[in-house]
Structure 1
Amino acid sequence: MTVMETGSALAESHYTISEVAAETGLTAHTLRWYERIGLMPHIDRSHTGQRRYRDRDLRWLTFLGKLRTTGMPVADMVRYAELVRAGDDTFAERQDLLERTRRDVRARIAELQDTLAVLDHKIGSYAVARSEAAVSAEAAAGSCGP
């Protein structure tokens, strides 16, 4: 990933929107939308107005990706981002939100495990049926005689 450097003595990495898109798999449109709805506030800008993402922004995007994977609604993700920005006094509400999401994920996992058991049973049934059909075909071929 190409990095733009600041003019400071301790140069901090900055990434363009296209670099972040390539790194995260999100589109530039999605990154702009995240910013618009409050999931990615305070993205630095260059003197020409181009977005300049930092490492902390990439870490936040990784976390948002995990929340998306859980199926958390965007509205809840935005609420969580607002709570993070509001500070340490929101720990309890953030925890509640994540615990609700964890319950939902566990319920989905249980449902998927049940579904997997049904698929395994059906696949096993087909394997037995094919094996029995092969044995029957061999027996029929052997009984026809020379």
Structure 2
Amino acid sequence: MYSINELVKKTGIPASTLRYYEQVGILPEVKRNVNGRREYNEKVLEWLELVVALKETGMTIEEIKSYTELILQGDDTLDVRRDFLTEHKKNVENTLAKQQYQLEKIIRKIAVYDVLLYKKRESSGDLLT
């Protein structure tokens, strides 16, 4: 079991965000100890790792909440959950492809500058610097 501070250290997610996730239903299985303090188990830690992956790949909090609700409905939603993640995967792949295309433009522009700088140094006789 982890305290909220331990979970913050393990995940890098601020305590306020963890409390928010619990409030909106993204962290539905947070237990409390006898003193009323939150206790997080390995299952919650694993779930948070997926939440971070979903969020960092562009899924909104509302979409993550919807996905969480599907999970809570049980195995009857396995196909819907799979479709949900498959659609998100396609969106991420499209985004990555667009970014890769743009990155290649930037790389080509840097190569142009490298050639121009080389020519400038060559013409000034300053090739050793």
- Say if 2:102 is the partner of 1:120: no
- Say if 2:69 is the partner of 1:82: yes
1:30 to partner: Cα distance: 0.4
Aligned to 1:17: 4
Correspondence for 1:53 among 29, 37, 40: 40
TM-score, structure 1 as length reference: 0.83
Letter in 2 for 1:71: G
- Say if 2:31 is the partner of 1:38: no
**Deviations 1:46-101, CA, capped at 9 Å, x for gaps:** 11110011111111111111111211111110011111110000011111111111
Q: Which has the higher contact order (CA 8 A, sep 6+)?
A: 2
Whole-Å separation in 2 of the counterparts to 1:92 and 1:122: 45
Percent identity, aligned pairs only, is 34
TM-score, structure 2 as length reference: 0.94
Question: Is the partner of 2:125 in helix, strand or coil?
Answer: helix
- Say if 2:57 is the partner of 1:70: yes
Aligned to 1:110: 97
- Say if 2:104 is the partner of 1:96: no
Gaps of 5+ in 1: 1-13, 140-146
Moved over 2 A (4+): none
1:138 to partner: Cα distance: 2.0
Contact 2:29 2:44 in 1 (8 A): no
Question: Is the partner of 1:75 in helix, strand or coil?
Answer: helix
The count of corresponding residues between Structure 1 and Structure 2 is 126
